[in-house]
Amino acid sequence: MATDFKKNPGRTGKEGRPDRAGKTGKKGAGKKGRTPRTGAGRADKSGETAYGRLKKALEPYQKTLETNPEDAAAWAGKGSVFLRHRMYKDSLKAYEKALEIEPENPAYLYEKGFALLQLNREKDALQTFDRLLGIKQDHDKAWNLKTSVLCRLGQHEKALAASENALASNPKLAGAWHAKGTVLSDLGRYEEAITAYDAALKINPNLARAWEGKAFALYSLDRPVEAAIAYDSALKINPDNAKTRVGKAMVHLKLGKYKKALEPCNKAISIKPDLAEAWYCKGMILAGLEKNDEALGAFERALRIRPDYPGARQARNSISSKLGIDFDEEEDEKETEEEKPRARRSFWTRKEPTSEIVKRSRGQEREQRGGAKRGEGTRKGPKGEGAKKSGWERKEPKGEGTKKSGWARKEPKGEGMDKSRGQERRQRRKVVRKNLGKGGEKKK
């Protein structure tokens, strides 16, 4: 499976800087200029943290800008440091400051375009590269990055023309040959893509992404053995590329070597757990091993990472039908529930019977007690004298032996009870008057 060039464009920048083309042991790929992805607080072998290295690298530019805030080179230097530490937003701000001072500097425009590309702002990046190429038409690296921008935007024919312009400016630019191969591969022109990748590898045999692109083209042409060799070459250069591992697993899968395919697939997941393609690949392998329950879980994981993954959805539905699970119906039910949420009942609301049998039995009970059926004047009828009932009582006539509601308020019984309550009230009034008479006023 080829590296997604549209998402991870190659870069051929200045020497001494970490760029994707120089990950192979060339200048810019050493430990000195690179920042480990293990966090700003973790120290390297020298005991220095990433934050410490960043602060140290920025210090000379900060001092220059304190004395001269209009120094464009100092702003560009800050931008370069931020780029090395993958702080693309800060880098973009620094290069924009530099361009305010020197608006037509090709180097600053190129770096700004690269930062925008890393921030997935393709349209802004395209405008920046067009502006740069208007100043310097033969800027091969700008044409190369413009190719990747157009690829991301799905404009493959324009991307192919941009790669041709890059090669016209510099035929020995390996990144441009790789870019051309990727565009041709996206267009389904795999034989031509292999020719372009071979040209890139002739210039730079250690260009891992060119080996990966060639492997994918061979795989697409149903040449799995050659594809496996190309993937192995890519992994020798860059063993930590999860997509390359997935590509190798897919080759073994195509050859029917399911157990052998599982190892690179699991390795890819350990490198990048949120790679949907790796989980899809694992699901296909497990399905081939007839472990349908585990395969279903892998496809579900792929869809959680990327819900719009058609291959994973189709494979999941195929496996689920074998297991007797219909995900489409479950999804429809979920959508219906979301569209029509259930009305929440009050805690005190009594649930009325919905079954016809229960309704009839209730009606018969009322008739036996001498009351009317529901709907025959019992609901919201006119209330006469003494018709008002307690708030907790049911609105049903009570016959002999009728069980009272558990919520019914107890009413006072008999005249004696009324007299005793009246006496208590009168006694309390006397005590209050007595207290008022003693103190002149009631104590607070």
Q: Would you say the C-alpha torsion 194, 200, 202, 205 has a positive or negative sign?
A: negative
Rounded Cα distance, 341 and 366, in Å? 35
pLDDT for 431: 62
CA angle 301, 304, 305 (to 5 degrees): 90
Report residue 274's pLDDT band, with 50, 70 and 90 as the boundaries. very high
Q: What's the Rg (C-alpha) of the chain?
A: 39
Residues forming beta bridges with residue 49, ordered by sequence position: 43
Give the Cα separation of 75 and 62 in Å (integer). 9
Query: What are the structural domains of the chain?
Result: 266-337 (1.25.40.10)
pLDDT digits (tens, 9 = 90+) for 288-340: 999 999 999 999 999 999 999 999 999 999 988 888 877 654 554 444 444 44
Beta bridge partners of 43: 49
Q: Give the per-residue pLDDT at 427.
A: 75
Picking from 313, 251, 240, the residue whose alpha carbon sits closest to that of residue 276 is 313
Residue 154 in this model has a pLDDT that exceeds 80: yes
Per-residue pLDDT, 361: 52
Q: Helix crossing, 156-169 with 174-186: angle to 10°? A: 160
Compute the distance between CA of residue 149 and CA of residue 117 in angstroms, rounded to an integer.
7
**Which pair of tokens denotes residue 207?**
């260009």
pLDDT at 43: 57
Per residue in 340-393, pLDDT tens? Answer: 444 343 333 344 444 444 455 556 555 555 555 444 444 444 444 444 444 444
Q: Return the axis-axis angle of helices 242-254 and 258-271, rounded to nearest 10°.
A: 170
